[in-house]
Structure 1
Amino acid sequence: MNDKIESSKTNSENQDFVNLIAALDKSLWERYPELKTNYWGNNVIELNPNVIVIYLENKPVACGCFKKYDTNTIELKRMFVSPEARGMGLAQKIIKELELWAHELGFSVCVLETLYKQKEAIGLYQKVGYTIVDNYPPYVGLKNSICMKKQI
């Protein structure tokens, strides 16, 4: 791993995180303009204390977070790697760090939702041990959603 890569645990008020998820939303709406109204409410991040931002040469280039889903389960949210930083293993690094953080907090299961056109994301999640499961709330009945799960 590049020694100019740093990981920072932070919260959702971190301006670098805010800027990265704005870029994520922009890329999603460009790829899925027809879904904006259906999914917008599911992507609002309330104050979240479980955020990781990755810096490459002091520039924020990737992020992810999790929120409590139920007593034993967290949900990965807002995973994003800037185009210029893709292919460096940063998404896997974020996932591992978030899973470890959640495990340290007593959680044993992780779920996530992605969209069917996100082939790279689906492949990444499968590579790190996630399996496709039936859609969980609030994604039940949303045919464009792919839900996944892993024991952590």
Structure 2
Amino acid sequence: MIHIEKGDPFSADSQALIEKLSIVLAQITGSSGKHSFNIDDLQSARAVWALARNAQGVAIGCGAIRPLTQETAELKRMYSAGSEAGVGSAILRFLEEAASELGYRAITLETRRVNHKAVTFYQKYGYTVTDNYGAYIGRDEAVCFIKTL
């Protein structure tokens, strides 16, 4: 059983998951992704930090949305410890529902092309490749996705 809840990105559980994600990303892409994530962005009223917990209450995954524009949220720091199947999809559904409730019409995100598992995951859940945006413009290693809610 996986339980998804709104959480505190500054909590010990959240910080441990963020650090684990950074290590995994560095192994896959050569970059931890820390430079493209500012935890203070999650203080916005239209941002959500989600934590996944297993039946024993152990934090096993996380993810966030933050405002990119009035109508578009950006998905950040998606991570599953891989200890149970379905964690990533449960977090994604939770964040998509939260985004819709907050009035967003779309979610966008960036991952690295070399992160084949992430690319396949987002495509499986209806995200389509879009033009690189913001800091990702002109960066060939980056691939951006969007999904209309």
Same fold at TM > 0.5: yes
Cα offset, 1:27, TM superposition? 1.1
Alignment of 1:1-152 (within 5 A): 2=1, 5-33=2-30, 35=31, 39-48=33-42, 49-56=47-54, 57-85=56-84, 88-152=85-149
Aligned-CA RMSD value: 1.5
* Maintained 8 Å contact 1:13/1:47: no
| 8 Å Cα contact 1:52/1:65 also seen in 2 | yes
CA distance in structure 2 between the partners assigned to 1:47 and 1:111 by the alignment? 15
**One-letter code aligned to 1:51:** W
AA at the equivalent of 2:48: N
Verify the 8 A CA contact 2:22 2:34 in the aligned structure 1. no
Whether the 8 Å contact between 1:12 and 1:51 is mirrored in structure 2 is yes
Gap runs ≥5 in structure 2: none
Which of 40-49 and 105-114 deviates more? Answer: 40-49
CA distance in 1, matches of 2:71, 2:108: 11
- Cα deviation for residue 109 of structure 1 reads 0.8
**TM-score when normalising by structure 2:** 0.90
Does the CA-based 8 Å contact 1:11-1:47 persist in structure 2?
no
Report the secondary structure of 2:40's partner residue: coil
Displacement over 4 Å in runs of 4+: none
In the alignment of these two chains, the number of paired residues is 144
Provide TM-score, normalisation by structure 1. 0.88
